[in-house]
């Protein structure tokens, strides 16, 4: 139950005077909500800059191009001539040092007469310009009859088309007036150490600044709100983790006989970090609490094999494991790596995606329930209600950031005290691991498997497309396999992308030149069709594969040694790194060509420079964080990503650690959130929409 104290803040914005259906629609879009936003959504929409209206010179002293507030007398009106609606409406005004013209275009005459009555004194605020030697203000921002009504500093907010800044400011001011007396949820020592003001003061000073610096993210007012948001996130993660970490009865690792058989069946030796990760996981599986471990490593660093060894450890004691991947291509890639090794060790594995239907699906589900499958690999299909395990002990979740908390809990609820191993091919900077996963144990696979060759990466302007095509022709002649990546499938996919080559068009132009040696895969094709073309490519039946980013994760064709990425400037760093990881997987040297369209923006230049300089995914992730902020380090902002509205990793990075420590202290002192501070913390979880963790407090 939401604390009743918060009810005023959860009232719909349409309950405010002046906010009707039209504003409701615009505010939904602006605040990213499917239903009518609430007052709390307005209060957490922070300004991006300010306008300083404190300069109040005489007309004679006003500097052109500056924001001024003038105290003037209205002398006369000059409406536009009747037959020239495009001429401006002019109002002449003065003070004791000179004259100023107030100019309005397309103004309703009645409106201007009422706003600026002749002979009256008014306070006019706006940017002063000189026109033919005469001071002029075009469309003054503010016209008031008393100086007391004028704020010295006005906040400027991110807006959406059709929403006037004035009406947004009025709505936010009304929401502020309804702010109840909220209890303090931050501990006194953190308040003291960080110089945080109370929350009401923070909200008031950010929305109604007294100093120009009040709205800066690194100042105490914004930082206080960022800490609240981070604490809510960390506390929710800690509650989920406490639930996952409850003492777990019988443990899940056997004597190692299956693992040894798998290691013997491998065509290569495990890298030191693979051995270390497998040992850490086996140790976790023997502990009296459940495992929650993140295994991160670059493309091709061998995470699937480590996951298989974890599954073998639980199979040794007769229990089951599940591996959930976000896409079918990725799930099938895992099974391709896993099946031959598991078979050698006598482990029974199966796959379940949307493609397994009817009798085949029923058989898999029956075998699973009977305990005849040791490891089930699949997509979201694994968490459907009719999928029941005989004894699920380990859940492996791949590319975790594409799944929400709910999917994770849905999978772990299919067994008793299930251990969780999360895989990520996107190396995630430490601060973000804390932000997204809370206090999780981490294993990193830093080395590339032996025999991998370096990749030569070059950036080439689109004007040299002919040379690149000639080079691809020579590569095909000598029997090489080439990827050609395009950002779009068809023109209709996006507005304003005229210069982007879509995959279908590029496929047609390459096919004209190289005939039936060219194939095409994209996300809108059926799974079976995609597999067929990928199979032809892997089997050297075609030599050039035109593809969209569907090949980004999990596609493994070691013989492919050349990749052309068209419109490379349109891709994020992490994505370029993932794509490039599809080559350099065999024993031959590989080349990646980044084709870009000129002119390049600063951001694109910086990205292409980083990707040319390094193949270290961890460095790339750190650079990506610096360049673009957190949402894109983990791919696009997908559902299930706890996106932060107020906290900025680049500014509030050190607050993440403090919020985590505070959350852990709370869990130690008051895990059920009882008493006065517990009530305050429940308010915090509701305000920042982390209340999905509240039902877990009493659970189990």
**Confidence band, pLDDT 50/70/90 cuts, at residue 449:** low
CB under 8 A, 24+ apart: contacts of 671-676? 671/242, 671/697, 672/697, 672/698, 673/697, 676/183
For the domain spanning 455-614, the CATH number is: 3.40.50.300
**Confidence band, pLDDT 50/70/90 cuts, at residue 238:** confident
* Averaged pLDDT score across all residues of the chain: 87
| Contact criterion met (CB below 8 Å) for 3 and 679 | yes
Instruction: Examine the pLDDT at 489 and tell me if it is beyond 60.
Output: no
- Which of 564, 624, 623, 574 is CA-nearest to residue 595? 564
Instruction: Examine the pLDDT at 451 and tell me if it is beyond 50.
Output: yes
**304 against 574, higher pLDDT:** 304
Mean pLDDT of 213-236: 92
User: What fold is seen in the domain 54-150?
Assistant: OB fold (Dihydrolipoamide Acetyltransferase, E2P) (2.40.50)
**Confidence band, pLDDT 50/70/90 cuts, at residue 244:** low
Q: Tokens 């605020």 label which residue?
A: 125
Give ranges for CATH 3.40.50.300 in the chain: 257-445, 455-614
Task: List pLDDT tens digits, range 599-642.
Answer: 888 888 888 999 999 888 878 877 776 765 544 433 333 322 34
The answer to which of 74-83, 298-307, 372-381 has the lowest mean pLDDT is: 298-307
- Which of 301, 242, 302, 255 is CA-nearest to residue 282? 255
Task: List pLDDT tens digits, range 536-562.
Answer: 998 999 999 999 876 654 567 888 999
- Which of 472, 495, 479 is CA-nearest to residue 595? 472
Instruction: Return the CATH architecture of domain 257-445.
Output: 3-Layer(aba) Sandwich (3.40)
- Distance, CA of 378 to CA of 644 (rounded, Å): 30
DSSP run (H or E) holding 77: strand 67-78
| Contact criterion met (CB below 8 Å) for 62 and 128 | yes
Mean pLDDT of 328-336: 87
CA contacts within 13 A on the Cβ side of 418: 24
Q: What angle do CA 567, 569, 572 make, to 5 degrees?
A: 115
Instruction: Examine the pLDDT at 316 and tell me if it is beyond 90.
Output: yes
């Amino acid at each position: 139950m939401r604390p009743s104290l918060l009810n005023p803040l959860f009232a719909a914005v349409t309950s405010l005077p002046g906010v009707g259906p039209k504003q409701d629609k615009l505010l939904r879009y602006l605040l990213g909500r499917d239903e009518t936003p609430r007052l709390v959504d307005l209060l957490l929409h922070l300004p991006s800059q300010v306008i300083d209206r404190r300069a109040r010179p005489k007309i004679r002293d006003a500097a052109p191009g500056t924001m001024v507030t003038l105290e003037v007398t209205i002398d006369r009106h000059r409406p536009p001539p009747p037959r020239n609606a495009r001429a401006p409406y002019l109002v002449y005004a003065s003070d004791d040092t000179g004259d100023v013209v107030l100019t309005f275009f397309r103004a309703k005459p009645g409106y201007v007469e009422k706003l600026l009555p002749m002979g009256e004194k008014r306070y006019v605020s706006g940017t002063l310009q000189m026109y033919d030697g005469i001071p002029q203000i075009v469309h003054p921002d503010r016209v008031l009859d008393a100086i007391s009504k004028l704020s010295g500093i006005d906040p400027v907010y991110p807006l959406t088309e059709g929403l006037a800044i004035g009406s947004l400011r009025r709505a936010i001011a009304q929401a502020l007036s309804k702010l109840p007396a909220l209890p303090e949820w931050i501990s006194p020592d953190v308040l003291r150490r960080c110089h945080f003001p109370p929350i009401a003061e923070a909200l008031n000073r950010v929305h109604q600044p007294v100093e120009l610096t009040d709205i800066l993210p690194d100042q105490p007012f914004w930082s206080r709100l960022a800490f609240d948001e981070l604490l809510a996130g960390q506390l929710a993660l800690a509650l989920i983790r406490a639930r996952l970490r409850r003492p777990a009865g019988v443990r899940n690792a056997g004597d190692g006989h299956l693992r040894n058989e798998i290691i013997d069946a491998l065509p290569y030796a495990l890298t030191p970090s693979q051995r270390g990760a497998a040992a850490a996981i086996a140790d976790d599986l023997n502990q009296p609490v459940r495992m929650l471990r993140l295994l991160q490593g670059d493309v091709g660093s061998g995470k699937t094999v480590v996951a298989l060894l974890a599954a073998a450890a639980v199979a040794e004691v007769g229990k089951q494991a599940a591996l959930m991947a976000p896409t079918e291509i990725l799930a099938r890639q895992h099974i391709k790596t896993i099946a031959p090794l598991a078979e050698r060790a006598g482990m029974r594995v199966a796959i379940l995606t949307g493609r397994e239907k009817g009798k085949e699906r029923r058989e898999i589900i029956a075998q699973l329930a009977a305990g005849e499958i040791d490891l089930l690999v699949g997509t979201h299909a694994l968490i459907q209600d009719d999928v029941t395990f005989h004894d699920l002990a380990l859940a492996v979740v791949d590319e975790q950031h594409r799944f929400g908390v709910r999917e994770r809990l849905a999978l772990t609820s299919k067994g008793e005290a299930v251990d969780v191993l999360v895989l990520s091919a996107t190396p995630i900077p430490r601060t973000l691991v804390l932000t997204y996963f809370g206090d999780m144990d981490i294993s990193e696979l830093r080395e590339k498997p032996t025999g991998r060759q370096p990749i030569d990466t070059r950036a080439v302007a689109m004007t040299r497309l002919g040379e690149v095509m000639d080079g691809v022709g020579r590569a095909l002649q000598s029997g090489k396999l080439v990827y050609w990546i395009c950002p779009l499938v068809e023109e209709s996919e996006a507005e304003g992308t005229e210069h982007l080559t879509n995959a279908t068009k590029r496929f047609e132009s390459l096919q004209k030149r190289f005939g039936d040696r060219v194939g095409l895969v994209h996300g809108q094709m059926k799974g079976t069709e995609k597999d067929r073309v990928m199979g032809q490519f892997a089997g050297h039946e075609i030599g050039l594969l035109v593809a969209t980013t569907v090949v980004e994760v999990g596609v493994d064709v070691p013989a492919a040694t050349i990749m052309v990425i068209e419109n490379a400037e349109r891709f994020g760093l992490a994505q370029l790194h993932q794509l490039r990881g599809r080559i350099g997987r065999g024993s031959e040297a590989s080349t990646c060509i980044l084709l870009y369209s000129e002119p390049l923006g600063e951001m694109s230049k910086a990205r292409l420079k980083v990707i040319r300089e390094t193949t270290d995914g961890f460095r790339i992730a750190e650079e990506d964080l610096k360049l673009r902020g957190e949402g894109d380090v983990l791919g696009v902002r997908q559902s299930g990503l706890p996106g932060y509205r107020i906290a900025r990793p680049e500014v509030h990075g050190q607050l993440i650690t403090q919020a985590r420590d505070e959350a852990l202290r709370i869990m130690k002192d008051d895990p059920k959130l009882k008493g006065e501070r517990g009530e305050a913390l429940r308010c915090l979880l509701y305000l920042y929409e982390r209340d999905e963790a509240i039902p877990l407090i009493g659970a189990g």
